[in-house]
Amino acid sequence: MNTLHKLILIGSSTGGPGHIEKIISSLPSDFNATIIIAQHMGDEYLQSFATRLDRESKLQVSLAYDKQIIENSHIYICTKKSEIECNKTMSFIVSDNKQSNYNPNINSLFNSAVHIDRSCQILAIILTGIGDDGVEGIKNISESGSMTIAESPKSAIVYGMPMRAAEIVKDIKILSLDEIISYINRFGA
């Protein structure tokens, strides 16, 4: 049975690591939501990124690995093609990402969350970045009834991915990084 009640999915690319660090360092130790992050980055850098975030966070931060059960109040950094599988529990499916130019792939993560039981509240966020990875996935999440946010041009270092999401997703909120941080903290209260 799914024990997660709140799930935050974050996708970002160029300019994202600093934004993610600001978000993660703002979270209190009693934060009551799980965060899964797909940050475009080479595999060889993801472990040091997760380690750095873990030092900055009051919550545990780790890389997602295949068949890992997703726990409440934990932060996961995606690798390769990370997807959420829902059976009796929620766990990761991590596989090679040979068909995508993006590593890890935001669309794969977001699209896998569309079928999560609605007893779990989902918040999907597109931060700064070039291109359109995550746009299809965040549109599908929005259409399934979950809350979606795109970073505003006010704070996005590169307004590519969030701009495309804002153009395509009907009910998406457009917020600055500081507003996103406040929203995340309220969501996980």
Q: Considering the chain, what is the average pLDDT of its residues?
A: 92
Active site residues: 13, 40, 133
Give me the helices (H) in the chain, please. Answer: 16-25, 43-56, 106-113, 135-143, 161-168, 177-187
Peptide bond connecting 162 to the previous residue in cis, omega within 30 degrees of 0: no
As a whole number of Å, the end-to-end CA separation of the chain is 23
pLDDT at 131: 92
Asked if the model's pLDDT at residue 1 lies above 50, the reply is no
Helix (H, G, I), strand (E, B) or coil at 180: helix
What phi and psi values does residue 187 have, to the nearest 5 degrees? Answer: -60, -40
Q: Which amino acid is at 116?
A: I
pLDDT tens digits, one per residue of 17-57: 999 999 999 999 999 999 999 999 988 999 999 999 999 99
CATH architecture for residues 6-187: 3-Layer(aba) Sandwich (3.40)
pLDDT at 97: 63
% the chain with pLDDT above 90: 77
Instruction: Output DSSP code: residue 17.
Output: H
Ordered by start, the domain boundaries in the chain are: 6-187
- Of residues 35 and 85, the one with the higher pLDDT is 35
Yes or no: say if 17 and 41 are a contact pair by the CB < 8 Å rule: yes
Token code pair at residue 62 = 């780790």
pLDDT at 96: 74
Which residues are within 8 A (CB) of 177 and not within 5 positions of it... i.e. 6 or more apart? 19, 22, 23, 127, 151, 155, 156
